Structure 1
Amino acid sequence: MPAHHRHTRWGLAVAAVLVVAACKESTGPQAQLSDPAGLTSDLLTVSDVLLSPTFLSFSAVSAATGSPAAAPSRVGALLRAAPIMPPRTSSTLDANTAARLLALRRSAATFAGGISASVVPQPLLGTTWVWNTTTHAYEQDGTFTPAASADRVRIILYAVDPFTHDVVETPLTATGFVDLVDESTTAPAVDKLHVIVSGGTPASPGTVYADYTVSGQVTGNPASAFTATAAGFVSDGTHTLTFSATFAATQLDTDNADVEIDITWDLDNPAIHVVLREMVVLPDANHLTLTITDCSVTHGAQTVSMHGAITIALLSAGTETVTLDVTVDVNDVPWARISGTDNGIAVRHADGSELSSAESQAFGNLFGLPRAIEFAIESLFSPCQRLMGA
C-alpha cells in the first residue's frame, strides 16, 4: 500500500492523546503558533507537490512487470536499508527496523566488489521501454523514435490507478517519460544516476517534473563506510520543491553501524524551508537510537522545529518497543512535547495544556508531511534503488 495511505501507530497515538486530559506542569514560557491555519495550508501545498499524478505514474515503473527499473543490482541495498527521507513515525520504524539492521549488517558483503563503472547494465543503455496491453508488462521497443541516447534507458510513463498504482490499460494513456542517465565514474569511483521525468513525448517534451541525481560511494573492501547523495528538484508544474540530501554510514562491517542523514527541502511558492539532521546509532544488534538534532519547517517569520530521540529495542522476532522523547519548538521556545512508550505516547503543550483544535490540525499536518515526503522519496528513489542494488 502506498506510504501516504498507511495509518501509523504514532499517528493513532497522537490522535488518541489529543483528546485525553494531561497533568499540568509549568515548564516556563509557552510558545504559540502564530498562524496554525497558515501552517496547515503551507504543509498541504508541499504535500500536493509530492502527491501529484506525475509521481503516481513515475512510482509505478519500479514495480511494474517487465520494467528495466524493477531488476535489482547493487548500491540501492543501502539506500533501501536507510532511505534518504524525513524521520518516520514509530510504526514505520517498527515495520522497517529489522530489515534495516539486516541490510546494514550485510552491506559489507554487498559491496565486496566496490563501485562498478556503470549503474545501468550495458544491455539497457540506449533502449526505450513501453507498456504492452496484451502481456500486461513493459517491453523494449526497438523501433521507438526518437531513440534514446546511448548513455541512458528511457521508460514511457502511463496513467496509473491512484490506489493500486497499476497501469490503467483502458484506455492506455501516456503521461510522459523518464530518462535514467548513467553518469558513473571510475576516478573517483562513484555510482551516479541522473533521473529526468518529463511530460509530453520524447519527440515533443513538455514540462520537466523532476530532475535530480543520486550517487553512491564506498570505502574499504569489504566496505566499512558508504556515502550517498541526492540533489535536484521535483515539481507539479506550478510549484517547485528543491532538495539536497546526504546519507553517510560507517562501521558497516560490524553489528553497530552508525548513520548520519542531512536533508534540506525548499518550496518556491509559498516559500517553505524544511531541514532534517539526524543520527541513527546501533549500539548492538538489538537496539537502535534515532537522534533528531534538527527537523524544522520555516514559513514566514516562524520556524517550527523538532528535536529529541526515538529508541527502539528489538525484543524478539517481530516484537519491538518504541520510546519517544521529542520536543517541538516555535522560534526556539518550547511548544509541545511528545513522550512515552508504545501506546502510552502523549502529546501536550510544553506547559502540559491541551492543543487547540487549530493547533491539533497543524500538528497533524506537520507530522503528515514526512509521510507525504516518504511517498515522494519512495517514488524518486525506487527506480534508482533497483538499478543501483535494492
Structure 2
Amino acid sequence: MRSSSRLPVTAALCAVALAGAAQAQFAGNGTDLAGVLPLGFEASGVDHHAGRDELVVVGDGGDVLVLAPDGSLRASYALAGDLEGVCVADPNRDLVYLLREKPEAILEFDLLTGLVGRVFDLGPALGTPSTRGPEGIEFVPDDAHPEGGTFLVASTFDGRIHRLALSIATSTTANQVASLGSFQPTSSNDLRGLDYDAAAGVLYSLYSEPTPLVRVSTAAGALLANWPLPQPQIAVGAAEGLCLRGCDVLVCEDGGSGASGLTRFDGIDTFSACRTFESDVAALSVLFGGTQTSTLDLGPAAAGLPYVVLGSGALASPGLGTPGIGGLVLPLVVDSYFLASLGGLGAPYFSGFAGVLDAAGSATVQIVVPPFSPVVSALVGEQLFHAALVIDPTLGWFAHASNATGLRFTF
C-alpha cells in the first residue's frame, strides 16, 4: 500500500486494508544493524528525527545512541534509568522525548547539548504498577492543540495506549501532564512500541507476543492491517521498538543479558510514502566549505518529467503552515527562503535545482559552500530544508512531492 504522495488515509484505503490486501512483506528484506550497537547495549526504543535525518536509539541501561541512516554511530550519551522509548515532537528542534520505565516519566533530552531538561512524571496519569510500566511513546501532531499535539504512551500492564498532553509549547519550564483518556487496540497486553505517520494518518503499534507483529491502524485505533514480523529474525518476546523512515521499517530487539538487535527492513510496502530525495551529508562547515549532493529518484516511469526543488528554513510541523500543492503536501513552510526559492535557486551556491529527470527518472542537486564565504558564514547554526516537486505536463499539475532533506551549517 505504498504511496508516492503524502495523502491522508481514505475510507477506500481503509476498506482495502481491512479486506486483507495490505500485507507488508518483511521476510528476506531485513538488514542486521546490531554490529553498530555497543557491547552490552540492550535496545528498547528507536525513532527517526526527520529534521536531523538521524536515528535515535535508547537502551535499558539509560544509553542514548544517535545513528546516521546507514547505521553508523554519530553520538552516544549515558543517562540514568531504564529507557524504553523515544519520540520527536518537533523536527525543527534538537529535543527528543525519552520514556523512562521506573519511575515512570518522560524526559526532555537535548541532542545538541546531551543534557536532560524537564522531567514529566507519568505516575498519576498512567496509574500502572512499577513492575510493568510504559514501553512505547509517540507524538501525534495536531495544529489545533495548544501544545502542538499530544503524546501516546503504550503500557504492557494492560495493553492500553494513553493519550497525554504535556506543556511543551506553552511553557519552557512547566512539567504538567494531563491525561486525555486511553484505549486498548487489541486484547493483547504485550504492546511494546509505537510510531505515527502524520502525513498518512497511520499509527504503527508493535507487539512482541505471542507472535511478533506490527498492527497498523488509524490514530484512534481502527485496524487497517496486521503485519507479522519474520521469525526467527525477530524473536518472540524480544521486539521492543519500531520506527519508519519513509517506507523503511526499523525494529529493535532486547533479548536480555546484553543480547540486542536492530534490524532495518528496506522498501516495505507500507501506508507511508517512500523517500525519493536523499542527501549524502547533513552538515557543511562554513570554515572549510564543501558540497552537499542530493539525488531525486522516481524511477524510469518518471523519465523526462520536469522538476523543481524548493526550500524553507523549517520543516512542516505543528503551528507552521504547509503549502498544499494539487492534493500533494510539500513538507516545507512558507517563509522568506521558501518565497525566494520560488524565484529559482542557482549559481554560485545551487546547482540542478530545476530541470528534467533523466532516463532513469532521477536528477542530481548540489549545494556548494565555498570556504570563508562571508555570505554563508552568517548561517552558522542554522538549517535549511529542501524538497522537490515533479510536474506532469499531461496533467498540467504536480505529480509528486518528495520528502525533505536538511542541511545544517557548522563552523
TM-score scaled by structure 2? 0.31
User: Greater helix percent: which structure?
Assistant: 1
Tell me the TM-score normalized by structure 1. Answer: 0.33
Q: Which has the higher strand share?
A: 2
Q: Which structure is higher in RCO with an 8 Å CA cutoff and minimum separation 6?
A: 1
